[in-house]
Amino acid sequence: MDLSALQKARYEYSPKLPGMLRNGISDICVKVGEATSSVADQDKIKALFPNTYGKEEITFVKGSNTSTPKKQVVGVILSGGQAPGGHNVVCGLYDAVKATDKNNVLLGFKGGPSGLIEDDYIEFDDEYINLFRNTGGFDIIGSGRTKLETEEQFKIVTEVAKKHGLTAIVIIGGDDSNTNAAVLAEYMAANNTGVQVIGCPKTIDGDLKNEDIEASFGFDTATKTYSEVIGNIERDANSAKKYWHFVKVMGRSASHVALECALETQPNICLIGEEVAAKKMSLSSIADYIADSVAKRAANGDNFGVAIIPEGIVEFVPEFSTLIKEINELLAGKKTEEFNALPDWAAKYDFIKNGLTAESMAVFAILPEFVQQQLFLERDPHGNVQVSLIESEKLFSALVKDKLAERKAAGTYNGKFNALHHFFGYEGRCAFPSNFDADYCYSLGYNAFMLIQYGYTGYLSKVSNLSKTADEWVAGGMPITKMMNMERRNGEDKPVIRKALVELDGKPFKFFEAHRDAWAVETAYTYPGAIQYFGPAEVCDLTTRTLALEKA
C-alpha cells in the first residue's frame, strides 16, 4: 500500500495522555465523587434505570491500583456518523487493554451496532492497529446507524457476548448511541450478565456536551477543516471582490459548528439557529438582516461577502417549522401516493394550496420553487420532511436577491449581488485528526479501559480540563444517566441524552454578538490556514475558540 508522507508521519505521532494516566496502569486509583441525578425527569429516568441510575462520578488519581485482576475480553463498536479521532479511541483502548495484560483481547465489531448483532468482528493485533493510529475515518471497523433498543436485540448481543467471553463493550458514538449504551448497560446489569458497557462522546456537531463533557471528539478537527476552507473563500472573495459566498456547514440540531467557524474566520454574516428561534425571526426578517449587510458593504464599494448558514437553520424558524408540520400532516398515510400520482408541479401546487393553512401557504409562496419542491422530496422513515435535503444556503441567497431587487426599485440600494454556494459537511468528518483530537481521543479510549478495569458500567469516558495542556487534563467517568431526560420520539416518551444547544448567554456567543455588527460591514476576515501537526504547541495543540472562551 502506497502511503503519503503525512500518513507515515502521523503513524509515528505519540498521543499525549492526561498526566494521571501517564503514571502507569499500576499507579492509577479511583477517587469517588458525589452521587448524580439526571438533568430532568429524575423519577422517570430512575425508574427506567434502577441498576445504573444515581451512581457517583469518579476521577482517576495517583495511587495503588486496587482493581481485581482478571482476563478482559472487550468488544468495541463505532456508531453513527464519522468524526475525526475515532481510530485513536480504538488505539488508546487497545494499548490500555494490552498494557494491563498482554493476554487481554480487544474485538472490533464491524459496521456499528449491527456487527454485535451479526457477530461480525475482527480481533485486533499490533500490526492491524498500527495501520490506523492518528488517522481519520472509521474504516478500521466501519460504522452504522442500527439502534440497540429492543429486548430481542439485547438478547442477541448477550448471546454474542457470552460466546466470546466478553467482559465489556465500548460504544463510541453521539447522543443517540450513548443513550443506547445506557439502555444496554441497564439490561446487562438487570440480567446479571457480567458485561460492562462504557460510552465515548463523539460528534462533530458539538451538541454532546455539558458541565462534565467539555467537548465531543471530532468537533475540533471538523471546525478547523471547515474554517480553513472558509478562510480560503474569504481571501478569494476579497481578491475577486465580486461574489457573495453563502456557506452551509454541518449542524442539524444545533449551531455550534457555525459559531466556531465564525469565531475562527470572522465572516460578514453567521446565522445562529438558537437565536433565530429565541427571537422568533421569520424568513423575511432573516433575509432583511443579510440584505442590510450586503447594502452597507455595497455603499462602501464592497460588492462581496461571506455568510455562514447552519445546516438545520430552517427548523429554528418558527413559521417554517409550522409549515413542515403541516406538510407532514398533509402527506400522512396514503396521501403521499395520491400526491406523487399528480401529473405535474402545477397540479401538486394546487393540492398543497388546498391543504395548508393560509399562514403556512403565505410562507410557502415566498419560497423559491426549487425549495418548494425540495420540501416534497423523499420522506424519512417516519414519513416526515427531510430538512437536510433543503439547500438553505441557496434559499437565503434567493430571498436576499429578492429583497435587494425591492430596494433597488425603491432607490435605496445600487450595488451588485452575485451569489455562490457551498456546503461543507463530509469534507470534515474523516480528516486527519488535529493534535488535540488525536490526544483527546487516545485519552478517551485509554480511560475507557480504566473504567472497565475498575468494574464500572453505564459510564461515559470523561476527560476534562481540556483548555489546558494535556498533562493537566483530568481523567475519570460519569454515569450516562446524568445527561438524560425524557423526550417525545415517534409518539412515545423515550429516555434520551439531552442535546446541548448554543447558549445565548454563554461567552462564545457573547463574543460573537459583540463583534458581528462590525464584521457585517468591514472586511475583517481571518485566515486560519491548514491544521498544523508539527511546530510550536501554541500553533499545533490549540483547542477551539469555543472552548477557549468558555474556560477563559
**Cα–Cα dist 80/78, whole Å:** 7
Q: Which residues of 327-350 are buried (b: 16+ CB within 10 A; e: fewer)?
A: beebbeeeeeeebeeeeeeeebbe
Same domain as 290, residue 363: yes
Whether 205 is a known active-site residue: answer: yes
Q: For residue 450, is it within any domain?
A: yes
Same domain as 414, residue 382: yes
pLDDT tens string 135-194 = 999 999 999 999 888 999 999 999 999 999 999 999 999 999 999 999 999 999 999 999
What SS3 class is residue 430? coil
Q: For residue 394, is it within any domain?
A: yes
pLDDT beneath 70: ranges in the chain: 1, 381-383, 490
CATH number at residue 92: 3.40.50.450
Q: For residue 486, is it within any domain?
A: no
Same domain as 287, residue 214: no
Q: For residue 489, is it within any domain?
A: no
CATH number at residue 350: 3.40.50.460
Q: For residue 289, is it within any domain?
A: yes
Identify the pLDDT of residue 378: 77
Same domain as 346, residue 246: yes
Q: For residue 318, is it within any domain?
A: yes
Residue 314 lies in domain: 222-428+506-545
Same domain as 453, residue 360: no
What does the DSSP assignment read for 33-97?
A: EEE---SS-HHHHHHH-TTTTTPEEEEEEES---PPP---EEEEEE-SS--TTHHHHHHHHHHHH
What DSSP state is assigned to residue 21?
A: G
Same domain as 410, residue 316: yes
Q: For residue 20, is it within any domain?
A: no
Identify the pLDDT of residue 332: 84
In contact, 200 and 171? CB cutoff 8 Å: yes
Question: In the chain, how many domains are there?
Answer: 2
Same domain as 409, residue 534: yes
Identify the pLDDT of residue 381: 66
Same domain as 238, residue 117: no
Last residue of a domain, one of 468, 489, 524: 468
Same domain as 441, residue 376: no
What does the DSSP assignment read for 373-389?
A: HHTTS---TTS---GGG
The residue assigned the cell 413559521 is: 319
Q: For residue 59, is it within any domain?
A: no
Same domain as 370, residue 283: yes
Catalytic residue among 175, 176, 205, 220: 205
Same domain as 116, residue 187: yes
Same domain as 327, residue 259: yes
